[in-house]
C-alpha cells in the first residue's frame, strides 16, 4: 500500500461526500486499464458505515439493483452484501483492521485516531473481506478521485441518473485522451438473475418413486461468521438444513465451503445434496416450504422435475428454531 493511497483516503474522509450523495446515487466508472464498467456508491449518509464501494462489473451492478428492488429476509440481504463483487475504501476503528493493514499504515508513516482508520478491501463470493491487491488499490484510487470530483460538482443529493425521452442514463466518468470527463451513458437497471440449476434427472426419477410425504421446510443460507486460519484468508460457510415440520425431524443438514466447493458450482452441489437426503430416507416430499425467494429460485427446477411446488413463507418457526439452536452451539 502506497502513502499516496492513504493520502487519497484521507481526502475522502475529510470531504465526506456521503453527506452529499446517497448510497443509491451511483456513479459509473470506466476502468482506464480494461474499459470495464464499474459503479461507485458512497455509504455513510446514516452515519453508520463510512465507505466508498466500487461494485465490479455487470454482476456487481445487477446484484446492487436486486438488493434495492427485491424483498428478501435479512439472512439473504447480508449474504448479498458480503458476496457482491466489490472493492471498498472504508473507515473504522483500529480494532477492525487486519494485521497487514496496520503494518501497511505504519510503513506509510501515517497516524490515525478514533474511527478514521482506512482500509482497502475486496469482497468475493464466499470469502471474507480481505486486503485489496495493488491493482485493485489502483482501481479503487481512481474511484475515490472521481467520486471527489463529482461530489464537488453536484448539489446536495442531486440525482446521478436521468430519465429523459424514454432513456435511462447515468453519470459516467471515463478517460478521453488521458483526461477524465463526464458522459451520460445507458444505465443498467437489470436485476441479478439468481441461479436456477438443473436437477439430475436420474435422481429425480428415483425419488419420485419413493414414499410420498408432506411438505418439508428447507433453508439454505450463508452463516455470517467467517472461518479460517486468519481473517485475511477466511471463508463464509453455507448451510443446507431440511426438516419435516410436523414431527420436527431433521431430514438432513449439510455444510459447504468455497475452499472445497467453488462458488460457481455451489448451486448445483446444493441441489445434489438435497436430493440425496431425500433418497437416503426414501421419501418424496409433496412440496417445499422456503423462507427465501433466493432459495426458491435455487430449487425451482428441482421442484418442477419432482412435480411439486415451492411455497415461499415469511417464517418457518420450526426450522428457524432448529437453525438458531444449532448456531448458538457453533458460536
Total domain count for the chain? 2
Average the pLDDT over 64-89 and give the result: 91
Sequence-distant (≥ 6) Cβ neighbours of residue 57 within 8 angstroms? 36, 37, 38, 85
For residues 163 and 54, the model is more confident at: 54
Domain for residue 129, yes or no? yes
Residue 65 in domain = yes
Would you say residue 256 has pLDDT above 90?
yes
State whether residue 30 is helix, strand or coil. strand
Structural domain ending residue among the three candidates 157, 186, 215: 186
* pLDDT bucket at 331, cuts 50 / 70 / 90: low
More reliable by pLDDT, 325 or 288: 288
Do residue 249 and residue 311 come from a single domain? yes
pLDDT at 330: 66
Query: Over 70: is that where the pLDDT of 77 sits?
Result: yes
pLDDT band of residue 205 (cuts 50, 70, 90) is very high
In a domain, 196, yes or no: no
Residues 167-193 as b/e (b if ≥16 CB within 10 A, e otherwise) read eebbbbbbeeeeeeeeeeeebbeeebe
Domain membership flag for residue 192: no
Distance CA 323, CA 318 (A): 9
**Boundary residue ending a domain (130, 158, 186):** 186
Same domain, 151 and 10: yes
From CA 306, how far away is CA 313, in angstroms rounded? 20
Q: Are residues 315 and 216 in the same domain?
A: yes
For residues 38-49, average pLDDT: 89
**How does pLDDT run across 222-240, given as a tens digit for each residue?**
988 888 888 888 999 999 9
93 and 182, same domain (yes or no) = yes
Count CA atoms within 13 Å of residue 134 on its CB side: 3
Whose cell is 493520502? That residue is: 7
14 burial type by CB count under 10 A (0-12 exposed, 13-18 middle, 19+ buried) = exposed
In this structure, of 12-21, 69-78, 237-246, 293-302, the range with the lowest mean pLDDT score is 69-78
Q: Is residue 113 part of a domain?
A: yes
The answer to whether 31 and 139 are in contact (CB under 8 A) is: yes
pLDDT averaged over every residue in the chain = 93
Same domain, 29 and 128: yes
Q: Is the pLDDT of residue 310 over 90?
A: yes
Query: Within a domain: residue 194?
Result: no
* Helix %, strand %, coil % of the chain (to 5): 40, 30, 35
What φ, ψ does residue 248 adopt, rounded to 5°?
Answer: 60, 25
Name which residue leads in pLDDT, 71 or 36. 36
Q: Which range of residues forms the domain containing residue 317?
A: 201-330
Please indicate, yes or no, whether residues 246 and 280 belong to a single structural domain of this protein.
Answer: yes
Please tell me which residue, 31 or 323, carries the higher pLDDT value: 31
Distances in Å between the alpha carbon of 216 and those of 244, 245, 298, 317?
A: 5, 6, 16, 13
What are the pLDDT digits (tens) for 118-157?
Answer: 999 999 999 999 999 999 999 999 999 999 999 999 887 7
pTM value?
A: 0.91
CATH classification at residue 221: 3.30.420
Query: What pLDDT digit, counting tens, does each position of 95-111 carry?
Result: 999 999 999 999 999 99
If asked whether residues 160 and 219 sit together in one domain, one would say: no
62 domain residue, yes or no: yes
Q: Are residues 53 and 116 in the same domain?
A: yes
- Given 137, 154, 186, the domain boundary residue is 186
Question: Within a domain: residue 245?
Answer: yes
Closest CA to 66 of 253, 210, 191: 191
The CA-based diameter of the chain, rounded to the nearest angstrom, is 69
Assign 275 a pLDDT band (cuts: 50, 70, 90): very high
If asked whether residues 228 and 121 sit together in one domain, one would say no
Same domain for 11 and 150? yes
For position 136, what pLDDT does the model report?
97
The cell numbers describing 157, all together, are 443529493
Percent of the chain with pLDDT over 70: 99
Is the same domain home to 163 and 205? no
164-175 residue pLDDT tens: 888 899 999 999
Q: Are residues 284 and 138 in the same domain?
A: no
Per-residue three-class SS string for 279-296: HHCCEECCEEEECCHHHH
Amino acid at each position: 500500500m502506497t502513502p499516496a493511497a492513504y493520502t487519497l483516503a484521507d481526502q475522502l474522509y475529510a470531504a465526506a461526500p456521503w453527506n452529499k450523495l446517497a448510497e443509491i446515487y451511483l456513479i459509473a466508472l470506466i476502468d482506464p486499464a480494461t474499459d470495464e464498467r464499474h459503479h461507485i456508491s458512497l455509504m455513510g449518509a446514516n452515519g453508520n458505515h463510512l465507505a466508498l464501494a466500487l461494485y465490479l462489473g455487470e454482476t456487481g451492478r445487477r446484484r446492487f439493483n436486486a438488493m434495492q428492488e427485491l424483498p428478501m429476509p435479512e439472512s439473504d440481504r447480508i449474504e448479498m452484501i458480503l458476496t457482491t463483487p466489490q472493492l471498498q475504501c472504508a473507515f473504522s476503528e483500529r480494532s477492525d483492521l487486519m494485521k497487514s493493514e496496520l503494518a501497511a499504515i505504519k510503513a506509510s508513516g501515517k497516524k490515525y485516531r478514533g474511527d478514521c482508520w482506512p482500509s482497502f478491501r475486496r469482497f468475493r463470493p464466499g470469502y471474507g473481506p480481505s486486503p485489496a491487491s495493488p491493482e485493485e488499490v489502483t482501481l479503487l484510487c481512481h474511484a475515490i478521485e472521481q467520486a471527489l470530483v463529482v461530489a464537488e460538482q453536484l448539489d446536495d443529493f442531486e440525482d446521478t441518473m436521468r430519465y429523459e425521452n424514454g432513456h435511462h442514463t447515468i453519470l459516467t466518468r471515463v478517460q478521453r485522451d488521458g483526461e477524465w470527463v463526464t458522459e451520460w451513458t445507458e444505465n443498467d437497471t437489470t436485476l441479478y438473475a439468481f441461479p436456477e440449476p438443473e436437477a439430475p434427472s436420474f435422481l429425480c426419477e428415483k425419488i419420485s418413486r419413493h414414499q410420498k410425504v408432506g411438505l418439508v421446510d428447507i433453508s439454505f443460507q450463508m452463516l455470517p461468521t467467517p472461518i479460517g486460519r486468519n481473517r485475511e484468508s477466511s471463508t463464509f460457510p453455507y448451510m443446507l438444513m431440511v426438516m419435516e415440520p410436523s414431527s420436527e425431524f431433521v431430514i438432513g443438514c449439510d455444510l459447504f465451503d468455497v475452499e472445497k466447493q467453488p462458488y460457481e458450482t455451489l448451486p448445483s452441489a446444493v441441489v445434489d445434496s438435497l436430493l440425496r437426503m431425500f433418497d437416503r430416507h426414501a421419501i418424496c416430499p409433496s412440496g417445499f416450504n422456503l423462507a427465501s425467494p433466493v432459495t426458491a429460485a435455487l430449487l425451482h427446477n428441482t421442484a418442477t422435475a419432482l412435480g411439486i411446488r415451492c411455497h415461499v413463507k415469511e417464517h418457518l418457526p420450526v426450522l428457524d428454531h432448529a437453525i438458531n439452536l444449532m448456531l448458538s452451539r457453533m458460536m
